[in-house]
């Protein structure tokens, strides 16, 4: 048995990808790159919903900005044939998340819905997860952040305000998922209906490039999007099995 086989066997023993299959939901987001215009409404929506601090010029210069979803842009070709494409990048909620195995205190773990979750008050700030994340979507609080009063009145009471020394990242707006589950329970429904949960970014996206839902529900909008032949996952070769699936941009040149 070579090293690699041993490694994968060990992996399977301790980490069963898809172990949560027996649970109710598998939250998924699809991002249609042929619709996304790079307008960045999603970025501000996420900041507003999730109490993401403004880090200020100095921290930004050190690369310490906190936006949980960012728009990456890539140029191709030269003038006059230059082309610019955008891709929204957020936590990919990997099924086989490299960040989870590396955390010495299990501050980041996999929940029953297939979400990659961060326990803020367990995090000791080793930042190992950020190093292991191939998508670079984990953000570390290098400082305590401050909201000039009365900007703090806007803070969402459903979301924790994080402290210095803690890692954070996109949660798929877990507070909204929880609320929807509670409401479903109150209504005596077993399941959350498709469309009941919309993360902040999805809700605001003007072009409806972002679609969110449960891929265990074959009728959900997101399940239908997953069947699109344009579907792909970023850095597929790493086998991280993301729950964020992109739909290819269409290149209709000429």
Partner 1 sequence: MSNIDRRDFLKLVGAGSVGAGAGFMLAESIKHPVEYLIPYVVPPEDFSHGIATWYNSVCSMCPAGCGITVRTREGRAKKIEGNPSHPVNQGRLCALGQAGLQVLYNPDRLTAPMERTGDRGSGSFAQITWEDGLTRTAEHLASLHKNGQGNRVAFLSTGVRGHFASLLELFMEALGSDRLLHYDFAHPHTLYAANKRFFGEESLPYYDLQNTRFLLSFGADYLGRWISPVHHGLGFGHSRQGRATGRLRTVQIEPRMSISGAAADQWIPARPGTEGHLALGLAHHIVAEGGYAGDDRENWVAALRPYSVSRVADQTGVAPDTITRLADAFADTQPSLAIGGGAAGNCSNGVATLVAVNALNYLVGNLGKRGGLLFNPTPAFGSSSHPRQASYRMLSELAEDARNGQIEVLIINGANPVFNLPSAAGFEQAMAEIPFIVSLSSFLDETTAMADLILPSHTYLESWGDDSPEPGMGFAVGAISQPVVSPLYNTRASGDIILGLAQQMDLGEALPWDSMEDFLKARWREIYERGAPADKLNDFESFWRSILQAGVWGEKTQNSASTFALDPNLVDNIGVEAAVFSGDSEVYPFVLHPYLSNAFYDGRGANLPWMQELPDPLTSVVYGSWVEMNPLTAKKLGLSEGDLVRVESPHGEITAPVFVYPGIMPDVIAMPIGQGHAEFGRYAKDRGVNPISILAPLMDPDSGSLAWGGTRVKIEATGRQAKLLKIGGESRQLGREIIQTSSNREGANEHAQINSIPISVVSS
- Answer with the entry of ligand SF4, partner 1, none that 50 interacts with (C-beta below 5 to 8 A by kind): ligand SF4
Beta strand segments in 21-146, E:
27-32, 70-76, 83-89, 108-110, 116-118, 139-140
- Answer with the entry of partner 1, ligand SF4, none that 104 interacts with (C-beta below 5 to 8 A by kind): none
Nearby residues of 221 by Cβ (< 8 Å), 6 or more positions away: 194, 195, 211, 213
The residue from 26, 42, 167, 192 that contacts ligand SF4 (CB under 6 A) is 42
Count of residues that bind ligand SF4 according to CB under 6 A: 28
Query: What's the gap between Cα 162 and its chain centre?
Result: 17
Instruction: Report the residue number, 107 or 212, with the smaller CB distance to partner 1.
Output: 212
Report if residue 195 touches partner 1, rule: CB under 8 A.
Answer: no
Report if residue 104 touches partner 1, rule: CB under 8 A.
Answer: no
Minimum CB separation of residue 153 from partner 1 in Å reads: 5
Instruction: Report the residue number, 88 or 213, with the smaller CB distance to ligand SF4.
Output: 88
Report if residue 40 touches ligand SF4, rule: CB under 6 A.
Answer: yes
The residue from 173, 197, 222, 245 that contacts ligand SF4 (CB under 6 A) is 173
- Answer with the entry of ligand SF4, partner 1, none that 148 interacts with (C-beta below 5 to 8 A by kind): partner 1
- Answer with the entry of partner 1, ligand SF4, none that 11 interacts with (C-beta below 5 to 8 A by kind): none
Match 């990919």 to its residue by tokens. Answer: 92
Q: Build a one-symbol-per-residue string for 66-85: x at contacts with partner 1 by CB under 8 A, - elsewhere.
A: -x--xxxxxxxxxxx-xxxx
91-102: b or e for each residue (b if 16 or more CB lie within 10 Å)? bbbbbbbbbbee
Residues of span 132-171 touching partner 1 by CB under 8 A: 148-157
The bridge status of strand 244-247 relative to strand 231-232 is: antiparallel
d(CA 183, CA 189): 9
DSSP state of 191: S
Instruction: Report the residue number, 206 or 218, with the smaller CB distance to ligand SF4.
Output: 206
Q: Which range touches ligand SF4 (CB under 6 A), out of 13-21, 113-121, 201-209, 228-236?
A: 201-209
Cis peptide before 185 (omega within 30 of 0): no
Match 């969110």 to its residue by tokens. Answer: 212
Instruction: Report the residue number, 15 or 230, with the smaller CB distance to ligand SF4.
Output: 230
d(CA 127, CA 139): 9
Instruction: Report the residue number, 188 or 254, with the smaller CB distance to partner 1.
Output: 254
Task: Give the number of other CB atoms < 10 A from CB of residue 115.
Answer: 22
On the 0-12 / 13-18 / 19+ scale of CB atoms within 10 A, 35 is middle
Report if residue 89 touches ligand SF4, rule: CB under 6 A.
Answer: no
- Residues in the site for ligand SF4, rule: CB under 6 A? 36-42, 45-46, 49-50, 68-69, 71, 88, 90, 170-173, 199-201, 205-207, 209-210
């Amino acid at each position: 048995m070579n090293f690699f086989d041993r490694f994968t066997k060990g992996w399977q023993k301790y980490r069963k990808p898809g172990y949560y299959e027996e649970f109710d939901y598998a939250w998924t987001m699809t991002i249609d790159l042929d619709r996304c215009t790079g307008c960045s409404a999603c970025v501000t929506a996420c900041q507003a919903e999730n109490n993401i601090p403004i880090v200020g010029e100095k921290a930004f210069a050190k690369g310490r900005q906190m936006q949980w979803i960012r728009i990456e842009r890539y140029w191709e070709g030269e003038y006059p044939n230059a082309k610019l494409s955008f891709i929204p990048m957020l936590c990919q909620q990997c099924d086989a998340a490299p960040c989870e195995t590396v955390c010495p205190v299990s501050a980041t773990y996999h929940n029953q819905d297939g979400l990659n979750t961060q326990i803020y008050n367990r995090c000791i700030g080793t930042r190992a997860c950020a190093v292991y994340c191939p998508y670079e979507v984990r953000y570390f609080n290098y400082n305590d952040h401050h909201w000039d009063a009365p900007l703090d009145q806007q803070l969402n009471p459903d979301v924790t305000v994080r402290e210095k020394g803690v890692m954070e990242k996109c949660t798929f707006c877990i507070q909204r998922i929880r609320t929807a589950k509670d409401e479903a329970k109150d209504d005596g429904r077993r399941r959350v209906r498709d469309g009941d949960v919309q993360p902040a970014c999805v809700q605001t996206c003007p072009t409806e490039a972002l679609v969110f839902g449960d891929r265990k529900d074959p009728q959900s909008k997101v399940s239908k999007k997953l069947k699109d032949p344009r579907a792909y996952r970023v850095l597929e070769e790493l086998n991280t099995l993301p729950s964020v699936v992109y739909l290819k941009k269409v290149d209709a040149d000429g």
